Structure 1
Amino acid sequence: MIHFDNVGKAYKSRKDRGEVVWPIRNFSATIVNGESTAILVPEGGGKTTLIDLVAGSELLTEGSITRGGHISWPASYRGIISAKMTGKQNLRFLTDCYGRNFAAAYEFLQEFSELGRYVDLPVRQYSNEQRHRLALTSLLAMNFEFILIDDAFEAGESSFRRRTAEYVKDNSDSITFFMATGNTRLVERYCQRAGILSEGTVTFYPSVAEAIEAFGKINDAEY
């Protein structure tokens, strides 16, 4: 469970230092296990801020977030992987940090990522695609109850995206996403609940389809 109680985050405006900007304010909601939830956010509207607030890497200006269960690091956060260490060493470090079984996680890494011999090479020798595979596979290997997602989740080659989608579908009883994204295809594929963050306010809709339709109208109006 992730519970938002009157959550707000404020920044000083870059254009006018005397002005305070609220990318999100008065947000209250409960995200429960088994119901993947998306907050659709227009470009520059606070996707990263919202995910970082849940992760705890950003401090709230007001309100509170109560976290229950194991919550992942943001999927887009590449600082979780050290370029100096091998893929295998990175995974061992993460399993030690999060109290997971290394042998099981390593078996999953070898099978799912298809990195082959590269798991024993320093990550600095990886291509961008290989780094993405290592980072995402390591994330899935931790068996988090809640996984924090933004647009970066769908990076990489199409074959790996399909494998990931199939894995999530097959394990939907144990994986719950919380997303802040502008990618409606991602939301349609994985989520059972959706809202829109616009001008600092989150509005939930009766269905994912209705949220996506309303989000399209907001984007059309902005462009």
Structure 2
Amino acid sequence: MIRLRGINKTYGTHSGPVRVLRDVDLTIDCGERVGILGRNGAGKSTLIRLISGAEFPTSGQIDRDMSVSWPLAFGGAFQGSLTGLDNYRFICRIYGVDPTDRLQFVYDFSELGIYLNEPVKSYSSGMRARLAFAISMVIEFDCFLIDEIIAVGDARFHEKCHHELFEKRGNRAMIIVSHDSAYIREHCTRAAVLDGGALHHPASMEEAFDFYHEATHRVVAA
């Protein structure tokens, strides 16, 4: 189980403090797929980073009783001067995984070829995302964090990502943040809406979609 209780997050800006998240409560059970809808700038990525542990809340508490991935396809934590393979080995060492066991998978899945032996600082954002996703599939997390549309590259690569995550690991918990209602409808069993920094929990998926659409139109009209 993952439980967020009274989570607040405030960032300092040149114009003063900005409160991005307000008293957020959320519980995710093992095997549950929770979708969090929100328009661009609503704080979805901030929430995902807090759940992953990449950032800390300004106040509130996050309890994790299962292993949690980093946001899938996020390559911002790579050491740029190291090669892709060296980053892979380092991450495996942190999580207690033998890097030799899944090395061929990383080669095959990422499709980076000789570039795995090049420094990550020379990678494009798409190459970083491919490597990050491949490594995420090597570490068998209990809960996967998915920030927006995770797949990069062409339609064939999208299908590879979908198969590895949603089919082969369909029994894992997932938290998916997106502004795309259709994506949440396809992959989730429960939905919440992030609006005005607060996380709203409608009683059903359809009510969540209605609430989200109303909130989006409210912003557009304003």
TM-score if structure 1 supplies the norm length?
0.85
Greater CA deviation, 119-128 or 80-89? 119-128
Instruction: Establish whether residue 170 from structure 1 lines up as the match of residue 172 from structure 2.
Output: no
Instruction: Establish whether residue 38 from structure 1 lines up as the match of residue 46 from structure 2.
Output: no
> Residues 137 and 164 of structure 2 are in contact (CA less than 8 Å); yes or no, is this contact kept in structure 1?
no
Structure 2 Cα separation of the partners of residues 99 and 86 of structure 1: 20
What code does the residue aligned with 2:6 have?
N
Q: Structure 1 residue 11: deviation in Å?
A: 4.0
Cα distance per residue 1:176-207 (max 9 Å; x no partner) = 22133223343223221110011122112334
Classify 1:102/1:127 alpha carbon distance in 2 versus 1 (closer, same or farther; 3 Å).
same
Gaps of 5+ in 2: none
TM-score if structure 2 supplies the norm length?
0.86
Which residue of structure 2 lines up, in the alignment, with residue 134 of structure 1?
131
Which residue of structure 2 lines up, in the alignment, with residue 9 of structure 1?
9
What code does the residue aligned with 2:186 have?
R
Classify 1:133/1:11 alpha carbon distance in 2 versus 1 (closer, same or farther; 3 Å).
closer
Instruction: Establish whether residue 145 from structure 1 lines up as the match of residue 142 from structure 2.
Output: yes
Gaps of 5+ in 1: none
Identity, in percent, stands at 30
Classify 1:174/1:116 alpha carbon distance in 2 versus 1 (closer, same or farther; 3 Å).
farther
Greater CA deviation, 75-84 or 87-96? 75-84
| Residue 194 of structure 1, aligned match among 164, 174, 191 | 191
Greater CA deviation, 185-194 or 31-40? 185-194
Cα distance per residue 1:64-106 (max 9 Å; x no partner) = 1101121112235422223332222211111001111212331
Instruction: Establish whether residue 119 from structure 1 lines up as the match of residue 116 from structure 2.
Output: yes
Structure 2 Cα separation of the partners of residues 109 and 197 of structure 1: 35
- Dislocated runs of 4+, deviation >6 Å: none
Classify 1:130/1:11 alpha carbon distance in 2 versus 1 (closer, same or farther; 3 Å).
closer
